[in-house]
Structure 1
């Protein structure tokens, strides 16, 4: 019997001279400008239409600012998003599905504290049908009593299950720690609040908040941009209001400070969540900060992953990433660990933050991260869906295609000195705050010894 010997991941990724080098990127040049139109319709809706002919499809994303301060706003918004596409005077749920299926299409809607998002796709030849269905929902959704009742029951089940998940518990704890009672923190209503929502309240919310002024619609596909904008203008001519969609109140800057230990009795795993103020995409220093984040924990070859995953085996996954709102930007660091190694993983994470400042990224680290940043940006926007989603995210913070076109060049021009400066300004451990969710009976003694953690 023959025994096959397999190489480990470490052996595959290394040679006798060290880690295998990434292949060099070619000289970075500015991306070519596609055929596009970026305009605002008379009803206040901003429309971006981009011709991308890779497949005979069209992708659609609509973003409507949808903030609210009322206690039941999150619950009403969740019900609205789940019932929006279930019926109008012209169509019931089955007719929605039938009309979209006839053009190879789909539509769905989701909501969060910032926005109501409607997204979908169809054959390019069926764009008019896709827009007609969308317009019908935006101007004629009736929220039938039986549909509201049915979806509310499902929501209660989903929310109850979600609230038992460690990642959801950690996210809610982090949001409250970062922003207190700001409406941004209520990403999910309480299950009991769903039962208080009536069909009349959902209809009233639609009338008051599903508004075109301040909203953004992006179409990407095998389309003529001018023709697509004209089609949108015609289909959505009846979507009118003098009021504007409600944007989320500006988030306060994060206050650095101790990390808070959140008790979860009997937990065998812990969630480490750290956060600090960052730079928005519009800032000239963002490209250098983006590269610094990649070196720290933004991709698999980062220092944090090499330390607490590859070297010490404390976690299957650790990463850092940016979170953007219209007026704010933060960096988040996440890792899930077994309870027995949580304090050690927390210590090593803070150590890597400090090391990024005291031992700045080398030319090699910067070059690898720079190549990854450019490559991942180009890859993520190479599909119609990816480009559509990216343009919606950029449009939400006031940016246009020009920013996306020029960003690879900005990243390519970043120097090691600029990355070191960004790391020193934004990744110092003293700039962070956060939470650890876990069994305090197990974790508290060690956290008490190392300090920097407020115990329950």
Structure 2
């Protein structure tokens, strides 16, 4: 019997994160574009410098409502007509607000890019913000809030922000506003926020995909290039500060069968030279199912389905840097909350005493660097990362250099960064669970003063 020869793996091809080309339209709009042959679905990301810190405190959440309302009608299309036109283009649309600003995302087949850019330009240039649509979006947001408060992970995140950051900081309050502030938002508030902060001179558009046969400059000039607005100076960002004195906050959920854990502090962001080592060390600690935290808490003890350690950039204060949230999150059964926390702290102590192994470091590098070509297989993934770099005041080649630095980072550097990221006496721990059952075991651990809050 004769068989075909077994396929063999080919030679690995060199890969680097795509380098964009940068330009500026006459109206001041910054444009980054990246030609990706074969990517017939083009991704467009627009960064609007409308940070949450700019929201009037009595209507916090207005940035989120504005972002959602951008596609709810223009001077040429009603909300229904705008949705229908997007569908005719085969385009998908998303918009959201976060601490750095508002992000609008569009994906569309390359053959219909110009039409979709026209719709995007209308939404940014002349949004209608109709009273009825804004009222509907406000009602929808008010309906979401009770569901978020009922979700243990979201409730923990809200409690952590209030505990970690100063009360005067926007970072201390819910990103999409509270019930008290959202219910005050109306169309006039949305229009005022738009008029104060949305303009081409401070915005950036990122376009990624197969641009063969597309005169991108002409397409942008006829669409986003028609957007006008006053020039504006960059809005200064206040330095990010936090109190990471070791302590425990329990959000009481009587009868809860699980305890949600969120352990966090403020750390270095992408501008800091330690970032590559920090990413690598935190990944070894809790970035995957084979990490140290999972090996102990999930595989050996059976306390949880999974615990993760992560780094999350909050906002950049400018070209000199900003801050990132360093966190450990997961959930455990109520009755093992004390033992699980004790073992978690022991993992941190062991890491400080013994360090990471070369095998752990090598596995992390392979997962972070080796799979990067797959991670950035789509135009949307590339565009989103380039837009992140813009938000965080990073150079265009940052991501490409980051992978090179990750590959060069040694075990000793990664260990030091992970230990510094989670010092056992400088962590704010939030637990959402049954306080009557978990408070005393947690106090006995001596990991900080324990405060119990009502979960209502």
Alignment of 1:422-437 (within 5 A): 422-437=417-432
Distance 1:233 1:366 in 2: 48
TM-score scaled by length of structure 2:
0.88
1:150 and 2:146 aligned: no
Distance 1:128 1:244 in 2: 30
Give the match for residue 270 of structure 2.
Answer: 281
What is the DSSP-based 3-state SS (H/G/I as helix, E as strand, rest coil) of the residue aligned with 2:232? Answer: coil
Distance 1:154 1:69 in 2: 20
Give the unaligned 5+ runs of structure 2: 1-10, 317-321
Alignment of 1:227-238 (within 5 A): 227-237=215-225, 238=227
Check 1:106–1:260 CA distance in 2 against 1; reply closer, same or farther (3 A cut): same
1:103 and 2:81 aligned: no
Aligned length: 432
How far the C-alpha of 1:319 sits from its partner, in A, is: 0.3
Check 1:233–1:355 CA distance in 2 against 1; reply closer, same or farther (3 A cut): farther
Give the match for residue 145 of structure 2.
Answer: 159
Picking from 412, 437, 440, the partner of 1:417 is 412
TM-score scaled by length of structure 1:
0.88
Give the match for residue 5 of structure 1.
Answer: none
Picking from 211, 231, 234, the partner of 1:223 is 211
Give the match for residue 133 of structure 1.
Answer: 119
Distance 2:242 2:179 in 1: 30
Distance 1:33 1:109 in 2: 24
Q: Does structure 2 conserve the Cα–Cα contact (< 8 Å) formed by 1:29 and 1:409?
A: no
Distance 1:294 1:330 in 2: 14
Please, which moves more after superposition, 401-410 or 166-175? 401-410
Check 1:225–1:266 CA distance in 2 against 1; reply closer, same or farther (3 A cut): farther
Alignment of 1:430-449 (within 5 A): 430-449=425-444
Check 1:408–1:144 CA distance in 2 against 1; reply closer, same or farther (3 A cut): same
Distance 1:226 1:414 in 2: 41
Distance 2:306 2:79 in 1: 41
Q: Does structure 1 conserve the Cα–Cα contact (< 8 Å) formed by 2:202 and 2:232?
A: no
1:266 and 2:241 aligned: no
Distance 2:27 2:242 in 1: 34
What is the DSSP-based 3-state SS (H/G/I as helix, E as strand, rest coil) of the residue aligned with 1:410? Answer: helix
Distance 2:376 2:440 in 1: 48
For the aligned residue pairs, the C-alpha RMSD in angstroms reads 2.5
Check 1:152–1:426 CA distance in 2 against 1; reply closer, same or farther (3 A cut): closer
1:51 and 2:35 aligned: yes
Distance 1:161 1:352 in 2: 34
1:190 and 2:178 aligned: yes
Give the unaligned 5+ runs of structure 1: 1-25
